[in-house]
Every structure is written in structure tokens, then in C-alpha cells.
Amino acid sequence: MTSLLPYKGTNRLFDKMRHEMDDLFQRFTPFALATPGNGLDVWEPTVDVEETDKALVVKVDLPGVDAKDIDISAQDNVLTIKGERRDEKTEKGKNFYRSERFVGSFYRALPLPAGTDPEGITATSAKGVISVVVPKKPGVQPKKIAVKDKE
């Protein structure tokens, strides 16, 4: 008798795909359960990079991190932002079932394009956002090229 199902055998295909997805999620589960000291406590702050005519502006989200705990340096055309995030508050008498705060070191290395001036880099902090301004060298300003209609 012929099967009335148009795609005979697709259950095996979906079972195999489901097994592969389950295996994938199972392999990454330890990263979701990272705790300080187990080697999985990695945190990279989010970074926005904006280019203007005169500089690159790098904004780094570092809420709760003191400016004294941040080290910004530029060497070999690489801007490095590293530091440590600390949570020194202790609350006695409260039972925590899960804490998702990160305590530990962070590190970001961003390549600087040619034509930037690492000597003129400045950094400011406001409301948990560090703004790093990397000026461009004066001779490297973009040249505006007019587009003419071909007649």
C-alpha cells in the first residue's frame, strides 16, 4: 500500500535536526552558568565606534566601573581598554538563589586604522560610558570628490 504522507521519512530528518540542536545547546550550557573562578567568567563590554571627519569616537559601556579601574592604552595601532569590575557590596541576611553580576577583569583590543594620531587620544567618563576620542592626523582628512554628470 502506498503511503498517503507526501514526504515519507521526514520524521527521521527532523529527529536528526532536533538531536543536533539539543547537542549544540548542551555544549554551550556551561557558558550560561559561568561563575567567578571557574575559567568561564568572561565579559566584554559593548563598544560603539563612530568615525567623524576629524576623529574616531569609541564609546564603551562600563556601568558600575570606576574610572580608576580602567586602563586605556594605544600601542602598535591597537587601542586597548582593560580593567576590573568589582562588586564590593555585601548584604547579610538575604538569600540569593542566583546572582548574574559579573566580577572580574575585562579586555577589549580595537585596531586603529592608518592615519590616526595615538598621541592625541583623550578619554572622558559620564554615567557609565567611557568616550575615547582618537584624532586623525591633519594630512589624512578625507578629500571630498565631486561627482559630475557625464553628458
Summarised one tens digit per residue, pLDDT across range 65-75 is 888 889 999 99
Q: How does pLDDT run across 62-117, given as a tens digit for each residue?
A: 888 888 889 999 998 899 999 887 765 656 666 766 656 667 788 889 999 888 88
Q: Which CATH number fits domain 47-87+102-140: 3.40.720.10, 1.10.287.610, 2.40.50.140, 2.60.40.790?
A: 2.60.40.790
Q: In whole angstroms, what is the distance from residue 85 CA to residue 89 CA?
A: 12
- Would you call 62 exposed, middle or buried from its count of C-beta atoms within 10 A (0-12, 13-18, 19+)? buried
* Whole-number average pLDDT of the chain: 78
* Continuous H helices in 3-109: 10-32
**In sequence order, what E strands does 25-113 have?**
47-51, 55-61, 70-75, 78-85, 104-111
User: Is the confidence at residue 24, as pLDDT, over 60?
Assistant: yes
Contact indicator for 85, 43 with CB cutoff of 8 Å: yes
